[in-house]
């Protein structure tokens, strides 16, 4: 169960001079101490504390130029201003904000200042990327570029295809803004009750959302979400799940964010035992609405919560997405992905390697590196050096989207260590958690920093986790409800400065 406890709970933390000092709304003044046994009850994130934590997380992320971004917070609403050199960094800054506890909304005023690319050249790249995109390929999309400002016109089949087209455009260097005027027209007119059932099912099945207090209404092809949810990250996911086939608009103005909504006492039957058939039905529904999955045929086998995926897809992106979707379903504790990638055609080795190089060089975060690419029988081999684990994994992701690539072996070396901020783990659980020690810290400092990371994360219930530190080696213990929560706790430990992590956390809903 990924939740936080806020009613009659106690939060343990060490507040040291070198760590963020949290403001308490109850019981007193700000304190600073080297002791590790101080207890603070009923903490509530203040605007100033939220701003400080966001600045810390922006500074830690390898893809964001934090020194050029200003952060202000008022009543939980965060405003971002300043500038960045690509549109993906602007979006990433907003994503980082959305997974900080206490944030209720984001106003993103960051301006994108890019090195100019000729409009005709950028338009040509966009049209090519849309044509070869696994989702956008079948659609006719009109592209107009004016000084890096891109306008998309046309008709697609769904909101998911509309979003996919926008994502493709944003992934190209030189793009300043995207005005997405794509309309979507469904091939079928669905019953209101069917659409409502799909939305409720998707929210209930997602291990990342505590949605027991969400009421779903559907009328005139409009979905309305009403109630209370515990974090902005969960609200964003819930809204995306509301865009099922047949829905033309989604309203979530009456879905409010309150920390107390993550209390387990407010939940009912999300984590009861689920039959294998129920899990299979949930995975099938998730696949249906994942725009990344381009399947020939897929077979889902579930035995006591252990999922095995087989079948064929047209591209590597589809295989990876299927694995991610299955892991995010309540009741799943292990996924074995045996899906085979069968492209319509595989270009020759040289042409495919050239296509991968172009894709890497066109991607804003990766273009600065000198990476080498070899391709044999559709499998790409990547070599070179990057400065963060995030960029290494991003290189694999970009390569996987090139038509004809069936597998990726990433031999890139990370020359300065680093660990993902937990924001990235929120969207992709298959990350490599490694960190090279930079500055040696005392065990007390490391423990304090880890406790701070756990407290601010909307994904981990900090009072379920016990931390032991011995010469920088961290051991985590306790009990959580999902593998996802266990994974995030480990990421938080690395963010806090652990040199190594032994994760002994027990997952309640596992084998």
Q: Which residues contact 224 (CB under 8 A, 6 or more apart)?
A: 216, 217, 218, 250, 251, 252, 254
Residues 260 and 288 in one domain: no
Q: What is the CATH number of the domain that holds 178?
A: 3.30.1340
What local confidence, expressed as pLDDT, does residue 170 receive?
93
Exposed/middle/buried for 35, CB within 10 Å: 0-12, 13-18, 19+? exposed
Instruction: Say if residues 55 and 66 touch (Cβ distance below 8 Å).
Output: yes
Backbone phi and psi for residue 62, each to the nearest 5 degrees, phi listed first? -70, -15
In the predicted model, is pLDDT for residue 249 greater than 90?
Answer: yes
Residue 254 lies in a domain: yes
Is residue 84 in some structural domain?
no
For residue 384, CA distances in Å to 354, 359, 411 come to 16, 16, 7
186 versus 201: the higher-pLDDT residue is: 201
**Within-domain flag for 15:** no
> Taking 50 as the threshold, does the pLDDT of residue 405 lie above it?
yes
Confidence of residue 437 (pLDDT cuts 50, 70, 90): very low
Give how many domains the chain has, as a whole number.
Answer: 4
Whether residue 3 lies inside any domain: the answer is no
Residue 229 resides in a domain: yes
3-state secondary structure of 120: helix
pLDDT digits (tens, 9 = 90+) for 472-485: 899 999 988 777 78
The reply to whether 140 and 158 lie within a common domain is yes
Give the residue among 226, 2, 208, 236 at the shortest CA–CA distance from 105: 236
Percentage of the chain beyond pLDDT 70 is: 82
Is there a contact between 452 and 19 (Cβ–Cβ < 8 Å)?
A: yes
Alpha carbon distance 293, 324 (integer Å): 11
Q: Which residues contact 166 (CB under 8 A, 6 or more apart)?
A: 152, 178, 180, 182
pTM, rounded to two decimals: 0.78
Mean pLDDT to the nearest integer, 330-338: 91
> What per-residue confidence (pLDDT) applies to 434?
45
- Helix H or strand E encompassing 55: helix 47-60
E strand or H helix at 469, and its extent? strand 465-470
Q: Of all helices (H) and strands (E), which one includes residue 427?
A: helix 422-427
The mean of the pLDDT values for the chain is 82
pLDDT of 19 above 50: no
Over residues 491-509, the mean pLDDT reads 86
Does 283 fall in a domain?
yes
Is the pLDDT at 40 greater than 50? The verdict is no
Beta pairing class for 255-257 and 77-84: unpaired
Q: For the purposes of burial, counting CB atoms within 10 Å of the CB of 8, is it exposed (0-12), middle (13-18) or buried (19 or more)? A: exposed
Together in a domain, 180 and 205: no
Say what the pLDDT of residue 341 is.
92
Tell me the mean pLDDT in the region 188-217: 91
User: Could you tell me the CATH number of the domain that includes residue 258?
Assistant: 3.30.1340.30
**Domain endpoint, select from 245, 266, 287:** 266
DSSP for residue 259: G
If asked whether residues 196 and 166 sit together in one domain, one would say no
Residue 456 resides in a domain = no
CA distances from 30 to 49, 57, 230, 299, 430 (A): 11, 22, 26, 57, 39
- The residues near 54 (Cβ < 8 Å, ≥ 6 apart) are 71, 73, 78, 96, 97, 100, 103
Cross-strand pairs, 78? 73, 106
Q: Which residue has the higher pLDDT, 27 or 154?
A: 154
* Residue 312 or 34, more confident: 312
Name the band, by pLDDT with cuts 50, 70 and 90, for residue 9.
very low
248 and 289 together in one domain = no
- Whether 137 and 163 map to the same domain: the answer is yes
Residue pair 84/91 in contact (Cβ under 8 Å)? The answer is: no
pLDDT in tens, 355-401: 999 999 999 889 889 999 999 999 999 999 998 777 888 899 899 98
Q: Do the beta carbons of residue 333 and residue 483 sit within 8 Å?
A: yes
241 with 290, same domain: the answer is no
DSSP sequence for 320-331: HHHHHHHHTBTT
| Tens digits of residue pLDDT in 282-296 | 999 999 888 888 776
171 found inside a domain: yes
What domain range is 296 assigned to? 276-341
How high is the pLDDT of residue 12? 28
Q: What is the pLDDT confidence band of residue 20, given thresholds at 50, 70 and 90?
A: very low
Give the end of a domain, one of 184, 204, 228. Answer: 184
Among residues 131, 150, 184, the one where a domain terminates is 184
Pick the range with the lowest mean pLDDT from 93-97, 331-335, 458-462.
458-462
Quick check: 487 pLDDT over 90?
no
Nearest C-alpha neighbor of 147 from the set 171, 114, 170, 125:
114
Residues 369 and 391 in one domain: yes
């Amino acid at each position: 169960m990924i939740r936080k406890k806020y009613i009659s709970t106690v939060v343990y933390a060490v507040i040291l001079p070198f760590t963020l000092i949290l403001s308490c709304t109850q019981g007193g003044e700000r304190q600073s101490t080297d002791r590790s046994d101080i207890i603070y009850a009923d903490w509530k994130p203040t605007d100033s504390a939220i701003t400080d934590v966001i600045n810390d997380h922006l500074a830690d992320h390898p893809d964001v130029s934090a020194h050029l971004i200003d952060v202000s917070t008022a009543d939980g609403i965060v405003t971002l201003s300043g500038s960045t050199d690509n549109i993906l960094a602007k979006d990433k800054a907003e994503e980082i904000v959305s997974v900080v506890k206490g944030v209720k909304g984001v106003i993103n005023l960051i301006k994108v200042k890019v090195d100019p690319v000729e409009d005709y050249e950028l338009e040509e790249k966009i049209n090519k990327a849309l044509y070869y995109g696994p989702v956008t390929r079948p659609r006719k999309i009109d592209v107009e570029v004016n000084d890096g400002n891109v306008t998309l016109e046309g008709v697609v089949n769904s909101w998911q295809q509309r979003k996919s087209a926008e994502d493709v455009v944003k992934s190209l260097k030189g793009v300043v803004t995207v005005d997405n005027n794509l309309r979507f027209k469904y091939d079928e007119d669905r019953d209101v009750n069917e659409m409502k059932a799909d939305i409720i099912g998707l929210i209930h099945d997602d291990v990342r959302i505590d949605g027991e207090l969400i009421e779903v209404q559907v009328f005139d092809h409009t979905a309305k979400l009403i109630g209370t949810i515990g974090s902005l990250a969960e609200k964003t996911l819930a809204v995306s799940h509301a865009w099922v086939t047949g829905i033309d608009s989604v309203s979530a103005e009456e879905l409010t964010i309150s920390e107390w909504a993550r209390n387990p006492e407010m939940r009912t039957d999300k984590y009861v035992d689920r039959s294998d058939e129920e899990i299979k039905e949930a995975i099938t529904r998730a696949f249906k609405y994942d725009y990344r999955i381009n399947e020939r045929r897929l077979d889902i086998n579930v035995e006591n919560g252990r999922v095995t995926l087989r079948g064929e897809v047209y591209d590597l992106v589809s295989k990876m997405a299927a694995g991610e979707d299955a892991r995010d379903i309540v009741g799943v504790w292990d996924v074995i992905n045996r899906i085979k990638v069968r492209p319509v055609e595989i270009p020759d080795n040289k042409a495919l390697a050239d296509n991968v190089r172009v894709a890497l060089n066109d991607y804003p975060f990766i273009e600065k590196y000198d990476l080498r690419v070899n391709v044999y029988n559709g499998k790409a081999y990547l070599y070179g050096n990057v400065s963060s684990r995030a960029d290494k994994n991003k290189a694999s992701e970009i390569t996987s989207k090139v038509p004809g690539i069936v597998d990726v072996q990433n031999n890139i070396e990370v020359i300065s260590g680093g660990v993902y901020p937990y924001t990235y783990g929120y969207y992709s659980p298959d990350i490599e958690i490694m960190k090279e020690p930079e500055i040696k810290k005392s065990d007390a400092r490391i423990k304090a920093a880890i406790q701070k990371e756990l407290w601010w994360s909307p994904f981990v219930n900090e009072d379920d986790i016990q931390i032991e530190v011995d010469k920088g080696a961290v051991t985590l213990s306790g009990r959580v409800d999902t593998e996802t929560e266990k994974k995030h706790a480990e990421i938080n430990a690395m963010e806090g400065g652990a040199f190594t992590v032994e994760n002994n956390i027990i997952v309640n809903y596992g084998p």
